[in-house]
């Protein structure tokens, strides 16, 4: 509740940070906004070409949808999580001058970065869904509310983890270089390129411990099959995400006391 009051009390400052983050990302570029959409689409086309045309992988039981649709629904939420966490890790260090000069809750910088990233990726995801809807079998609209809740839960996980990595990055500048390889490993052990049923039973516990895997599964089930039977998992995942945010704030606020010494 204290965190919510802090955010609400400084909502104008948060909104300003979000606008600045989005504006700075595309300032001075001709195709910056288009590239935000184009990069994941390019990845989607490459993966689709490699798996369908080169390797000729035949993945069954995709709900009547092609592999590209199957991949897009898993890839886009992952792109939001990955980009959000990587950019959140650098958010405090990149705003070092502001941190040293102005007194405000520094976690707003992390929250603004996560919010801006997930907003951009969310609207990109909607555009991709619309295109895939026109080109292939229609998605199930009943899955859209579930998708939106899952998207919020994923953003909360990214925020909670980002609070930890952003605060450690101030003290240990190498942490951002470790995030990339770790996220790459998580990407390949998350059923994004393949359905979960292809994972050997002996390794299923890895997916059970992976919240992103559950969230991707819920989104796919809702949008591809119109199946909401797994939506119940969003409740414990939301609780886990809020716990992660709480733990992240404990670490962040403890280290924030010495930010100015390391800037």
pLDDT of 109 reads: 92
What average pLDDT is seen over the chain? Answer: 84
pLDDT of 84 reads: 94
Task: Give the chain's residues under pLDDT 70.
Answer: 1-2, 27-40, 51-52, 54-65, 261-263
Long-range contacts, 113-117 (Cβ 8 Å, 24+):
113/21, 113/84, 113/87, 113/88, 113/162, 114/84, 114/88, 114/155, 114/158, 114/159, 114/162, 115/14, 115/18, 115/155, 116/18, 116/21, 116/22, 116/25, 117/21, 117/80, 117/83, 117/84, 117/87, 117/88
pLDDT in tens, 138-161: 778 888 999 999 999 999 999 999
Q: What is the pTM of this model?
A: 0.89
pLDDT of 117 reads: 92
- Total number of domains constituting the chain: 1
In 3-state terms, what secondary structure has residue 61?
coil
Q: Which domain holds residue 96?
A: 2-262
């Amino acid at each position: 509740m204290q965190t919510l009051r802090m955010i609400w009390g400084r909502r104008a400052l948060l909104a300003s940070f979000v606008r600045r983050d989005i504006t700075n990302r595309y300032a001075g570029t001709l195709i910056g906004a288009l590239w935000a959409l184009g990069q994941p689409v390019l990845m989607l086309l490459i993966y689709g070409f490699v798996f369908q045309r080169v390797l000729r992988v035949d993945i069954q039981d995709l709900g009547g949808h092609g592999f590209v649709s199957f991949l897009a629904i898993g890839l886009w939420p992952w792109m939001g999580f990955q980009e959000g966490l990587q950019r959140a890790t650098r958010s405090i260090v990149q705003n070092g001058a502001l941190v040293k000069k102005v007194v405000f809750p520094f976690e707003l910088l992390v929250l603004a970065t996560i919010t801006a990233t997930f907003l951009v990726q969310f609207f990109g995801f909607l555009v991709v869904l619309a295109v895939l809807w026109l080109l292939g079998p229609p998605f199930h609209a009943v899955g859209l509310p579930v998708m939106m809740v899952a998207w919020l839960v994923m953003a909360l996980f990214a925020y909670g983890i980002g609070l930890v990595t952003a605060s450690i990055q101030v003290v240990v500048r190498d942490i951002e270089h470790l995030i990339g390889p770790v996220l790459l490993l998580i990407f390949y052990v998350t059923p994004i390129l393949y359905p979960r049923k292809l994972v050997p039973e002996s390794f299923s516990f890895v997916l059970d411990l992976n919240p992103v895997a559950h969230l991707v599964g819920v989104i796919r089930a809702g949008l591809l099959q119109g199946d909401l039977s797994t939506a119940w998992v969003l409740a414990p995942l939301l609780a886990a995400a809020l716990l992660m945010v709480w733990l992240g704030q404990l670490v962040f606020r403890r280290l924030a006391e010495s930010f100015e010494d390391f800037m």
